[in-house]
Chains A and B, each alone.
Chain A
Amino acid sequence: MEVLTREQHAVLSSQALELLPEHLRQDPAMSQFLEAVNATYRNYENELKIAEVKNAEKQAVLLHQNQLLQETADRFKLAAKAWKVGIWEWNASTGDITWDDFMYEICGIKDKLEYDRDKMNWYKLFLEDDVPMITKAINELSDHKNNLEVEFRIVRQSDKKIRHLQIVALITRSAEGLPLRMVGVCMDITTERDTEREHTSLMKELIDKNRDLESFAFVVSHKLRAHSAKMMGIANVMQHEQAEAELKQHMVEELLKEASFFDQSLRELTELITIKRNTQEAKKLVLFKKTVQEVLEALQEEIAQSGASIDYNFDAAERVYATESAIYNMLLSLVSNSLKFRSESRPLVVSINSFTDNKYISLQVKDNGMGIDVERYGDKLFGLYRRFHSHIDGKGIGLHLVKTQVEILGGKIAVESALERETTFTINLPAINK
């Protein structure tokens, strides 16, 4: 129904009044009727006015809500920008994928038009290893699951760097349960993952170090206990009523000997702890040739006694950036082990050489001695106070110290051996260009 305005109504009613014959215009009954019509209209008009006010209120509410929505959207955009959240939408019927600007930024795509030309281009961003996992997550969606949460890696197009992305999405379904569209957010969580990985490896390192310390404490206490147990044993024999004077005298000598061994062990231990604590000695370019010559000079007597021939060649890698004392000690330990564990059945030949693959500088000491049962002893070879020969004296410190020093320099030590044939120790130290 059309609604007349107040003015239109006034015009129409006065016109209608003029159309009436004079006597009727004067008739009180007609006047009353007109009055009634007018009254009805006024009522209607009032109602209309009230409705208008209400409408304005509604408008205001709507406007306010719109404003709030806008603010929320702005805030969301701001947050999205700050957190680098991309928003995407997938249309199930067309298969189209719509991205917002951040999505292109996250994926490092500069030419949007070119990229959008192929609908399947997004699939090519994934790191190949992650494709089965993504496919699986998407396939699971068809089973009435309405939210997708998946983490994967892509190759960012702008710099070809691997980035970790996380996607959270919701799927809208038709009344029949068929997927209509999926809307999701996408975040680059590479920094978080990197930090996490860093923390995990740091944690692992700390746990390893702690375990090493624990076992170090046990090994050391055992070593010290061996000394005190022997001194107690000697004292027990000495004070026994049945011990003759001669034995007692012998025991006094043994006690003194053991006390001095005890002292020596403590000194070695202090030295070991100092080395483990990472020496303050500055690193420098250490020349292998010079260090080897010093080592061979220090071992002059033993070399002469054993009749060993020792050759060295450092043409492939002449130097390494390290602490000089560490390199000296490694070479000294390994060469004296070669001398000590030589075979009785052939003249000893020791070859020392170096090589590099640019990542590592490797130092190798190879001999044709008794060999070590590497398979049997494994990592125990480098254990503190570990000895492997009953007939040959040793403290079980040398190889442990070599390994400790190699690790302090960020390197690794490996051993290969064939019993009664040869043994090769290879030390890989990080190649630092200085």
Chain B
Amino acid sequence: MTMSSNLYNIMLVDDDRAFNFLNEKIIGFEKFASNISSFVEASKALDFLREAALSNPETLPDYIFLDINMPEMDGWEFMDKFKALPQPAVDKCKVFILTSSLNPIDIEKSKTYREVKGFASKPLTTEIISFIKTEKGNQFIILT
């Protein structure tokens, strides 16, 4: 794929393949990404990020859409480990929580991570993407 200034590297982390498929489609339609990498296992996504940060920082995603409820490693555990990744990864990747949860506790918890830039409720929509595209500030975005 060609690199372009307004196309981003996107990472999807969700144990539900169907959601990853739908999100890939919407992101593709909206011309939001130059590259999408989907992971059904959070630990594999972390491995990818660690590897990229050390050997190939330009392949690091600009945005990570992260599910919370996942078997084995859940979204929170992912975040705890993400914080400890090599600096290029922590600096570059903006994490958005993308979950079907509407639990206010989850929203509050996601705010406690400096690396998490927003909380969005599934499904990923054209509206959410265009909001993220235009959002330049550092304010925590809640899209539910």
Q: How would you classify the secondary structure of chain A's contact residues: helix, strand, loop or mixed?
A: helix
Interface size in chain A (residues, C-beta < 8 A): 24
A388 lies within 8 A of B71 (CB): yes
Closest A residue to B22 by beta carbon equals A233
Of B49-57, B96-104, B107-115, the stretch lying at the interface with chain A is: B96-104
Least CB separation from A227: chain B residue: B100
- Which residue of chain B is the closest to A231 with respect to CB atoms? B123
Residues of A contacting B125 in the complex (Cβ-Cβ under 8 angstroms)? 236
Is A84 interfacial (CB-CB < 8 Å)? Answer: no
Does B19 contact A243, Cβ atoms closer than 8 Å? no
- Residues A389 and B101 in contact in the complex (CB < 8 Å), given A229-B123, A230-B122, A243-B29: no
Task: Tell me, yes or no, whether A247 is within 8 Å of chain B by CB.
Answer: yes
Cross-interface CB contact of A226 among B25, B72, B122, B124, cutoff 8 Å: B122
Which A residues are CB-close (under 8 A) to B71? 386-390
A247 and B24 CA atoms in complex are apart in Å by 13
Contact A237 B100 (CB under 8 A): no
Indicate if A346 sits at the interface (CB-CB under 8 A).
Answer: no
Flag if B18 contacts A254 (CB, 8 Å): yes
Could you tell me the distance in whole angstroms from the C-beta of B27 to the nearest C-beta in chain A? 11
Contact A240:B103 (CB < 8 A) given known A226-B122, A234-B22, A254-B18: no
Instruction: Determine if A222 is an interface residue (Cβ-Cβ < 8 Å).
Output: yes
Binary per-residue interface labels of chain B (10-22) against chain A in the complex, 1 for a CB within 8 Å, 0 otherwise: 0000011011001
List, in ascending order, chain B residues with CB within 8 A of A240's CB. 25-26, 29, 126
Quick check: is A242 within 8 A (CB to CB) of the other chain? yes
A190 to B135, CA, bound (A): 67
Partner pick for B29 among A229, A233, A242, A390, CB 8 A cutoff: A242
Q: Is A221 an interface residue (CB 8 A)?
A: yes
Residues of chain A within 8 A (CB-CB) of B101 are 222, 225
Nearest CB in chain A: distance from B114 CB, A: 25
- Extra contacts, 16 of them, besides A225-B100, A243-B25 (Cβ < 8 A), are A222-B69, A225-B122, A226-B16, A226-B100, A226-B122, A230-B18, A232-B123, A236-B123, A237-B22, A240-B26, A240-B126, A243-B29, A258-B18, A386-B71, A388-B72, A389-B71
Q: Can you list 5 A-B contacts (CB < 8 A)?
A: A222-B69, A229-B122, A237-B29, A240-B126, A390-B41
